[in-house]
A and B are shown apart, each in its own frame.
Chain A
Amino acid sequence: MNETGNTTKSIVSQPRVQEVDRALDGKSDELLVTLVQNGERDAFRVLVQRYQGRVKNLIYSILHDADAVDDLAQEVFIKAYEALPQFRFRSSFFTWLYRIAVNKSRDELRRRKIRRILSLQALLDSGDHELGSRLAVEPRNNETQELITAALRMLPEKFRVAVVLKEIQGLSYEEIADVLQCEVGTVKSRLFRARATLRNILKPYLEERS
Chain B
Amino acid sequence: MRSWSRREISELISLYVDGELDQQQAKELEEYLVNDPDAAKELRDLRAMKTLLTTKKPLQETVGFWTRLTARLDQKEREEENLLPFPRKYLPAVVSAGVLVLAVLALLIFQQRSSVIDYVSRQSERVQKAVEENVLKGSILPLFSNVDKNQVLQFALFGTLPLDAKAETSLRVDENAERGYTIDVGKKTAEEAPPVTVDEFVQQVKPTRAQRLVIDSLLDLGRERIERSVFVAGDRGIAIDPNLPQLNRVMLSSIAASLEPVQRARLQKLLEERRARYTIGQLHGKAESAERIYRGMPQIRRNERFLIVTPDTMALTHLQFDVDSLRRHLRGVAESRHQIGVSVDGFIRRFADREAAMKKQFYFNMDPIRVMGDTDVLSIEIGAAWEGLQSAPSEWMVKPVVRGSRNPPRPARGPSFNLRFGGSDSSFYFNLDMDSLLIRMQNEGPEAAFEFFKGDPRFRDHGLRVRIGKDFIAMDSLAKAGGRARAFVDSLMKVMQEKNQDLREQKKRRDDDPFEQ
Say yes or no for B423: interface residue by CB 8 A criterion: yes
Say yes or no for A154: interface residue by CB 8 A criterion: no
7 chain-A/chain-B pairs, Cβ below 8 angstroms: A8-B476, A16-B465, A17-B474, A19-B463, A134-B289, A167-B53, A210-B45
Shortest 7 CB-CB distances between A and B: which pairs?
A: A16-B463, A10-B485, A167-B53, A15-B474, A192-B14, A17-B423, A10-B481
Q: Which residues of A contact B69 (CB under 8 A)?
A: 48, 74, 77-78
| Residues of chain A in range 12-70 having any CB-CB distance to chain B below 8 Å | 12-21, 41, 45, 48-49, 52-53, 56-57, 60-61, 66, 69-70
Flag if B289 contacts A45 (CB, 8 Å). Answer: no
Flag if A199 contacts B46 (CB, 8 Å). Answer: yes
| Residues of chain B in range 49-71 having any CB-CB distance to chain A below 8 Å | 49-50, 52-59, 61-62, 65-66, 68-70
Flag if A60 contacts B76 (CB, 8 Å). Answer: no
CA distance A168 to B54 in the complex (A): 6
CA distance A69 to B62 in the complex (A): 10
Measured between C-beta atoms, what is the minimum distance from A41 to chain B in Å? 8
CA distance A196 to B10 in the complex (A): 8
Say yes or no for B334: interface residue by CB 8 A criterion: no
Q: Which of B14, B68, B463 has most A Cβ within 10 Å?
A: B463
Contact with A along B467-485 (1 / 0, CB 8 A): 0000011111000111111
Measured between C-beta atoms, what is the minimum distance from B466 to chain A in Å? 10
Q: Which residues of B contact A56 (CB under 8 A)?
A: 59, 62
Flag if A10 contacts B42 (CB, 8 Å). Answer: no
Stretch in A85-93, A98-106, A141-149 with 4+ CB within 8 Å of B: A141-149
Measured between C-beta atoms, what is the minimum distance from B369 to chain A in Å? 20
Given contacts A16-B465, A74-B65, A209-B48, 8 further A-B contacts (CB under 8 A): A13-B474, A17-B463, A18-B424, A60-B59, A134-B292, A167-B50, A191-B18, A210-B44
Binding site for B on A (CB under 8 A): 7-21, 41, 45, 48-49, 52-53, 56-57, 60-61, 66, 69-70, 73-74, 77-78, 81-82, 128, 131, 134-135, 142, 144-145, 147-148, 163, 166-168, 173, 188, 191-192, 195-196, 198-199, 202, 205-206, 209-210
Measured between C-beta atoms, what is the minimum distance from A176 to chain B in Å? 11
Flag if A11 contacts B473 (CB, 8 Å). Answer: yes
- Report the nearest A residue to B422, measured CB to CB: A17
Q: Which residues of B contact A13 (CB under 8 A)?
A: 473-474
Partner of A74, one of B45, B68, B475, B484: B68
| Residues of chain B in range 1-49 having any CB-CB distance to chain A below 8 Å | 10-11, 14-15, 18, 20, 41-42, 44-46, 48-49
Given A70-B65, A134-B292, A168-B54, the answer on whether A206 and B59 have CB atoms closer than 8 Å is no
Q: Which residues of B contact A52 (CB under 8 A)?
A: 65
Flag if B11 contacts A188 (CB, 8 Å). Answer: yes
CA distance A60 to B59 in the complex (A): 8
CA distance A45 to B69 in the complex (A): 9
Flag if A48 contacts B65 (CB, 8 Å). Answer: yes
Q: Which residues of B contact A147 (CB under 8 A)?
A: 52
Measured between C-beta atoms, what is the minimum distance from B489 to chain A in Å? 9
Flag if B475 contacts A199 (CB, 8 Å). Answer: no
CA distance A134 to B285 in the complex (A): 14
Flag if B475 contacts A10 (CB, 8 Å). Answer: yes
Q: Which residues of A contact B20 (CB under 8 A)?
A: 173, 188
Measured between C-beta atoms, what is the minimum distance from B182 to chain A in Å? 28
Measured between C-beta atoms, what is the minimum distance from A105 to chain B in Å? 14
Q: Which residues of B contact A142 (CB under 8 A)?
A: 57
Q: Which residues of B contact A21 (CB under 8 A)?
A: 423-424
Measured between C-beta atoms, what is the minimum distance from B101 to chain A in Å? 25
Say yes or no for B273: interface residue by CB 8 A criterion: no
Q: Which residues of A contact B15 (CB under 8 A)?
A: 188
- Report the nearest A residue to B481, measured CB to CB: A10
Given A7-B476, A10-B482, the answer on whether A45 and B423 have CB atoms closer than 8 Å is yes
Flag if A61 contacts B56 (CB, 8 Å). Answer: yes
Q: Which residues of A contact B422 (CB under 8 A)?
A: 17
- Report the nearest B residue to A173, measured CB to CB: B20
Measured between C-beta atoms, what is the minimum distance from B499 to chain A in Å? 21
Contact with A along B69-90 (1 / 0, CB 8 A): 1101100100000000000000
Partner of A198, one of B49, B56, B66: B49
